[in-house]
Structures are given as structure tokens and as C-alpha cells.
Structure 1
Amino acid sequence: MEFIKMRDGYEIYFRDEPAQNPKGVITITHGFAEHCSRYDHVSNYLIREGYSIIRYDLRGHGRNKKRGRLNRFEDYVDDLAEIVQMVSEKYPHLPQITLGHSMGGLITALYGIEHPNLVTAQILSGPTVGKLPSAEKLQPGMMKFLSGIAGGWKLKNPVDEGLCGKEGVYEDYINDPLVLHKVSLELYYQFLFRASEMILEGAKEYNYPCLIIHGKIDPIVPVEISRSFYNTISSQKKDLIEYDGLYHEILNEDKKDEILDGIINWIKNL
């Protein structure tokens, strides 16, 4: 296993998977409570298509230390910025694309707002680029207060069968020892409130070429969130593809190869 040290000394699990004669580099940012190894099939598919892949576990996730903990959501965005810079130095002449799923899509989009014109394009899968239904019954002021005095207090991961329509995916998720089954109050607050404020405030400034893909019956991140983001951003090239009958993890559904093929075709048309 390879770990890289970030600017503050924190070490994250990191994978660099080169393709032969690569056409570009795709950096994958995973979602809330999961880890980068859940994207093995995505990585393998994209490598076969000629794209080198960079993957990593978010701080507090997967194989990293302080599991389930997070001081500030900006750390995720800063980590991605540092990784993008590393990739640019290693592959200076290749197009670089950032792909994020769910909370990883939010991180990717926030990176896009704060760091324009540094990558070629972005792909957002079921991104949490707005206020989630799971936050509607919570009081942000109380959550902020509690995260300040008891931020390390762990709550149960609320993800349920709405994760994916394909049989076995949810069962594998809940039995995966690298998935976070309990998450700190501080991470919940930063994700559900702090980060949603950041993306809603900055969405108009977003102008990267972007592809947004979303399952139409996603109960975790409703497709309306992607529609609103798509209608707000300033990108000259932007595409939103909605998939009938699919849930949240569309890259794990039976149609995953069709979706990945669509991603490749979109990249080719940049």
C-alpha cells in the first residue's frame, strides 16, 4: 500500500494506476463513508480505454487514520488540489479530468469553483451539490453547537437500500470493513451544512466543462439537486444525463458499462 503525506503531515492512501500510452489522467474522489477500492471496476474500465487513474481514500476514510473524523470540509478540497498539482507535475502534457461521486462530487465541484482553469473537465456522479433531504429535519445551529463540544461523538451511518438497485451491492457495502459504519458528529455537520452552504454560495462561479450523471430514482441525493446545480453554473459546456430506474450508485448498477461508455464518449468530444 502507498501513502502520501499531505501539506499538514496527514497521510492518505493513494493509488497511481498508469495506462499504456495514456490519453489523459482521471482522478477519482469517492463518496461519504466509502473508500477508493469500491471503484476497482471503474478504474479497470477506464484504464482499458487508455486513461491513467489516480485514486485515494479521503482523510478519515478507508485505510486512513482518525476514521470518521473531520475538522473542516475545506481539508477535502485542499487535499484534492494538492493531488491535482502532483498529477500535473507528473503528467504535464496530458489532459486531466476529475471525477467525483456523491460527496466526492461535491468536493470535486468545490475544487472547480476555487481552482478554475487547472484541469480539463469534471465529471460529477450523483453529486451532493445542494441541501440533502437527510439534513432537512436537523437544526444547523444545534448541529454546529454540538459538533463544537462533542464533535467526536459517533452516529450510525444512515445509508440504506437506496444505495443501489443491483442485488448484492448494499449487502457488500454494509459488510465492508473499510466502509465507515459510524461517523462523527463533526463530519456530519461539515458535510450536511457547512459544505452545502459553500456550494450554494459559489455555484454561479463554476465554469468548468462538466458532465453530471444521476439516477432518476436516487432517494439519497434526489436528481433535482443536480438539475438545480446544472441550471445555476456558468459552464459553456455542460451536460446532465439522467438514468431511468437507477438509484444512487449508478456506477455500480447493471448499466454501469453503458454509463462508463457514455463517460468515455463525452470525454472524446471535449
Structure 2
Amino acid sequence: MRETKLHIPMTTATGETIGIVGILAQIALPPHNPQEHEPHPMYTSRSTTAPIERAHPAHASHRSDISNDPSSSSRSQTAGMNLDDDPDTMQRLRNKDQAFKRRGYPIYPIDKRDTRGLKIAIILHGVLAHKDQIYHKQLARALPVDSFRFDFRANGETPGTWSMGNLADDVEDLVAVVDYLRTKLEYTVEIVIGHSRGGLDGFAWFAKHCPDALPPSLRVPFFVGLSARFNMANIHERDPAYLSAFAKEGFFRWQARVAGQDKELHVYPEQVDQFAAWPTREIALAFPYNTDVLLIHGTADKSVPASDVASYGNILSGVHRRPGSCSIKLIDHADHLFRGFYPQVVEAIVEWLRERSELTKMGLSAAAIRDRDTLGLARFNPTHLQQGRSGPHMWDNNLAAGNPRGPAQAAPPWMDTPAAGAAGAAQLPPGHASDSPYARYLSAAVATAPSTPEGRSRAQPDVEQADASEEIGTDAWPAGHPLAHSRSSPSSAPPASVAGTASRTRTKAHL
């Protein structure tokens, strides 16, 4: 894997120009210097599984598959480690800065021939953290796609002014990163993974900058949130420590060790109030319908209680969501930083992505929906999957040859269903057995749900209606909202018009 340091220029809302510092990890390329970039021996000599071998694709194509190549179905290198048998290994894992050798990262220009059209994951760190903290390096090595992990403003190597309540500034940083990866390197952003405060930033970015109204090609189908806080007002549990300092000096001295350096940051009363007022519920309700989410939490988390992940799950598994689009993974005995449990965290993420990849082959994951809407039903033909074939989607090669459906392939019934009305809604997506739980759910819902005058089924409420009922929009925030001043990316502007009612009905009926 090749790791290269990037400096992404951006202009803040206050007019300040800064450079966001991050690491681009390219899984198919050799390292710049093999000796500097080899992993810690702990992750090579003790692993009971073979390392993942990945080959750079000859050409990048628009596929629903999460991987950039077929070999991503291998197990991650961190799987199968028995930590209980080696206390020394457990202790090293608990030291967040010793998972891999400390090293500097070279700065080289990136050849767009190595990035154009490929998928990429974005990894977000938490409060008073940095791009290489906790499990981030291990995760970059285990992911089946390239990744970019960066330091938020005033963290790590990225300059700026730190504030406890400046989550909207974090979102602004993420907007700049996504825009750079898309426009300068021509990546397709496939996954966003955020820990703690980074999880809050990820939720907010999806809600405001990745709504369902975007062109399908700009949708991001997968999000992983780890240890994300829901009940923001619980921050006032720290008031006993804060209030005495506020009364004495007007601020609280927060002393912490970050990236091997001792730091002292000042927390002011208005910052605590700003943090506590962050609208997590409204943001979760505005989370895009066409994005799958995995929520991971440690049962021994004393910073953010595990009940917070249940609050997110209740909203993201509601009737206004796609069935099966939200998953929750609890890691027993893990604390807020998952110290001692990095391999389990990495394996949980990789395994979930593997499951999403299998759902993609059946046309059910958010990635499949994204690609189907991008290519159009007439060009999206995964019927070969019903015949038990594996490997890259055959319709990729058919499209490249100018034959969308391939040789001697009849159009599947679900593809040529009449566009209008709910008559076609009862058709199942390809790859689904008629007796599967999803098939029974969909058939019962379509059979029993009354139709509106516009021909919509009430079995699956429109995400637009669900958002309107909560008085929150997916493409704009009301004046005075904490997210209102976060700027939109030029590449993520909503289209001038949206699809008609009939086509939108059919699309949602097949989810």
C-alpha cells in the first residue's frame, strides 16, 4: 500500500486560507519506501490469516461492487488474532500511538491515472485526535478501496483555531476534502467512516451535503459511525469541573496528550452551550434515504453511553427508512477509543462492507441503487448473478462493448415493468427468492397498502414527507440553524428538477 501526504487548500467561512493535511492510502500501489511503510510485526507474524492480495484494475468502471477488484472478499489481516494469549500484545494495542511504526509520510504529486474512477473511503477522527490515532492505520490497510484520512482544522498538522463547539467548521473541512477528491483526483467517494466527533461530522455532512436530491452519481452509499454522541446535553455532566474553572478564570484548561505532544486547550462557557445544542435528532432524521449505515459502539464507553447508539438506531431504522439499511454492532468491554479492540473494530467494518457487497449483487444495497439510478434501469442488468456467476459484474463489460444487456439476454421482468402506477411495485429485484423475508415483506406491503391519487404506495413513506413532518429539509437548513453557515460544495448542488412521481414510486418499491 502506498501512503502519500496531501495538502488540500481551502478558504474558510471567515476568509482564512489554510491547508488540510491528510494521508492518501492507495491499496493497489507499492509503497514509496518499503522499509518505512512496512506494518508493525505484530500484524504480520501473529496473524493466522493470509494477507489480502489486491491487483490494480486494468480500467476503472462504474460498478456497484464495493471493491476496486474481485480479491476484496478475503478476510482482513487482523482477523483471527487471539489477544487473550498474549498480554504484551494487548498492552501494545492499548497504546494508541504504537500500532504501527512512527514515520513521516512523503509528499509526491498524485498521478490521476491511478485514481480516476476508483472508489475511496474517507476516515474522520474524533476530538483532540489526529489522522493516525487509534485504529485508523489498520483500517486503511484492511479496506477494499483506497482511503483518505486527514486532520480536521486545529488538529494534528492542520492549522486553525480550535473550539469545542465548532462542529460546523469540521463539516466545512469535510466539504473541501470531498470536493478535492472528486474534482482533482476524480475519485468516487464510496464510504465515510467517522469516530466520536468525526461521527457527528459525518452525520451532518450527509444530512446537508449528500441529500437524496443530488444526482445519483454524487451519492455516497455507505457510512460508518463509531462512538457517536446523540444526547448532546449530557456534556453538562462535566459541569462540576467546568463551572469552578469558569468562575475562577472564565475558561476551563483542558490538558491532553495528542500525537505524543502535551497540549492545553481552553474551553469557554459559550462553547459548551454551542456543543450541547448540536441538533443530532434533526440531523439523523434528515439522513439520506439512499445511504446504508453501520453504527459501532463499545459497551464500556464511559464518555458516550451505549444508549446513544440505540437512539440513532431507533431513528435510522424507522418506517421512513429502507428496511435493512441500518446495522448496529456492539463490541463488548470496549471503551470510547476501543483500546485493546482495534482488530475487532476493523473486522466489523470490513465484514459489514462484505455483506453490503453481497446485497449489491442482489440489487439491494445503497451502492446498487445509486448505480441503477445513475445508469438507468435499461442499462443496469445484474441478471447473471442469478446464474451463480462471480467476479466483476458482467454488465460492466457489456456496457464497454456497447451492448447494455449482453449477448442473447432477455430483459428481466422487473426491468420492463410499465413506468407508471404501483402495478410494477410488486415485482421483486433480481437475485431475491420469492420466499425470502424481504420478498414476503414487500409482497405483503404492496398488497395491503392503499394507493394515493398520485399512484404512490403508503407502505414506504417518501423521505421528503418524513423530513417535512419533522420540519427539516434535506437540501437546505432554516435560518439560524447551526449548519446553516456551512457552505455547500460546488459539486453537490441539487439538480434543477427531480424525477417524476411515477419513476420515483417504482424506484422505492424495488428497494
Q: Normalization by structure 2: what TM-score?
A: 0.43
The answer to whether the 8 Å contact 1:154/1:185 transfers is yes
For residue 85 of structure 1, report the CA deviation from its aligned partner. Answer: 2.3
Give a deviation string over 1:62-90, Cα, whole Å, max 9, x none.
12324534784312112112212222335
Mapped to 2, the partners of 1:187 and 1:58 lie a distance apart of: 21
Question: Aligned letter for 1:219?
Answer: K
The answer to whether the 8 Å contact 1:59/1:70 transfers is no
The answer to whether the 8 Å contact 1:34/1:180 transfers is no
Is 1:240 matched with 2:321?
no
Q: Quick one: higher RCO (CA 8 Å, sep 6+), 1 or 2?
A: 1
Residue 287 of structure 2 corresponds to 206
Give a deviation string over 1:99-127, Cα, whole Å, max 9, x none.
00000100011111112252121000101
Question: Which of the pair has more CA radius of gyration?
Answer: 2
The answer to whether the 8 Å contact 2:226/2:295 transfers is yes
Q: How does 1:49-128 map to 2 (within 5 A)?
A: 49-69=143-163, 72-89=166-183, 92=186, 94=188, 96-115=190-209, 116-117=211-212, 118-128=219-229
Residue 261 of structure 1 corresponds to 347
The answer to whether the 8 Å contact 2:154/2:160 transfers is yes
For residue 154 of structure 1, report the CA deviation from its aligned partner. Answer: 5.6
Give the secondary structure class of the aligned counterpart of 2:132: helix
Larger proportion of strand? 1
Residue 168 of structure 1 corresponds to none
The answer to whether the 8 Å contact 1:130/1:199 transfers is yes
Instruction: Evaluate the alpha carbon distance shift between residue 74 and residue 226 of structure 1 in structure 2; reply closer, same or farther with a 3 A threshold.
Output: same
Is 1:13 matched with 2:13?
no
Give the secondary structure class of the aligned counterpart of 1:107: helix
Unaligned runs of 5+ in 2: 29-55, 57-66, 69-118, 213-218, 357-511
Mapped to 2, the partners of 1:221 and 1:34 lie a distance apart of: 16
Question: Aligned letter for 1:28?
Answer: I
Instruction: Evaluate the alpha carbon distance shift between residue 74 and residue 256 of structure 1 in structure 2; reply closer, same or farther with a 3 A threshold.
Output: same
2:303 corresponds to which of 215, 220, 234: 220
Mapped to 1, the partners of 2:189 and 2:237 lie a distance apart of: 39
Alpha-carbon RMSD across the aligned residues, in angstroms, is: 3.1
The answer to whether the 8 Å contact 2:165/2:271 transfers is no
For residue 235 of structure 1, report the CA deviation from its aligned partner. Answer: 4.1
Q: % of aligned pairs identical?
A: 18
Mapped to 2, the partners of 1:138 and 1:96 lie a distance apart of: 39
Mapped to 1, the partners of 2:172 and 2:314 lie a distance apart of: 26
For residue 132 of structure 1, report the CA deviation from its aligned partner. Answer: 5.2
The alignment of Structure 1 onto Structure 2 pairs a total of residues equal to 242
Residue 28 of structure 1 corresponds to 123
Mapped to 1, the partners of 2:260 and 2:274 lie a distance apart of: 22
Mapped to 2, the partners of 1:223 and 1:181 lie a distance apart of: 29
Larger proportion of helix? 1
Mapped to 2, the partners of 1:72 and 1:210 lie a distance apart of: 24
